[in-house]
Every structure is written in structure tokens, then in C-alpha cells.
Amino acid sequence: MTDRLGDVMVFEQLQIRFKNQFMILAKDLQSGVEATTATHLFNIKRTLDIIRNENVALESESNPEFNGVVEGEVRVVRDEIHRLQGVVNSGVAAAA
């Protein structure tokens, strides 16, 4: 057994197998993180849309200034969500 563990070929084969398995695990983890991130971004966007729609309906008639502020903030958050989605998508393209 000592001779076998001392064999350079065995060590190299084990190293290659380890590297291949590690790459598979890393890709699976990356896919999971990307899917989770996309889901969370979608949920945030949907929640903001609900808040915006409810607030606009309640406040637009009585407080047009508030309506403008809400619209502006929604635009800022939407831009950030699109930016984050671009980062996630570019990470997918780079990993492929």
C-alpha cells in the first residue's frame, strides 16, 4: 500500500478526479445561487410593484408629490434590479 500511495501516477489521477468533482460541485452551487438570486430579485420587484400600486391608488389623488417620490424610488430600484440581473446573467455566460 505504501508503494501505491507513493506512486506519482496515482497521486496525479486522484488530483484530476478531485479537480473534476470540485468543478461539478462549484457549477452546481453557482447555478443554485443564480437561481435563488433571480427568484429573490423577482419577488422584490413584485413586492415593490404591489406597494407602488397600492400607494399610488391611495395617495395619488390626495398627495401628488408623494406619488412622484414613489415613482422615482421605484424607478431607482428597478434600475438596480436590472443591473443585478445583468451581473447574474453575465456570470452565467462567463461560467459557460
Position 63: which residue type? N
b/e burial code for range 13-28 (CB count within 10 A of at least 16 → b): eeeeeeeeeeeeeeee
What pLDDT score does 34 carry? Answer: 87
pTM for this one? 0.50
In degrees, rounded to 5, the angle at the alpha carbon of residue 57 between the alpha carbons of residues 56 and 60 is 55
| pLDDT of res. 22 | 94
Q: What is the pLDDT of residues 1-57, one digit of tens each?
A: 556 656 778 888 889 999 999 999 999 998 898 889 889 888 888 888 887 777 666
CA–CA gap between residue 52 and residue 7 (Å, rounded): 67
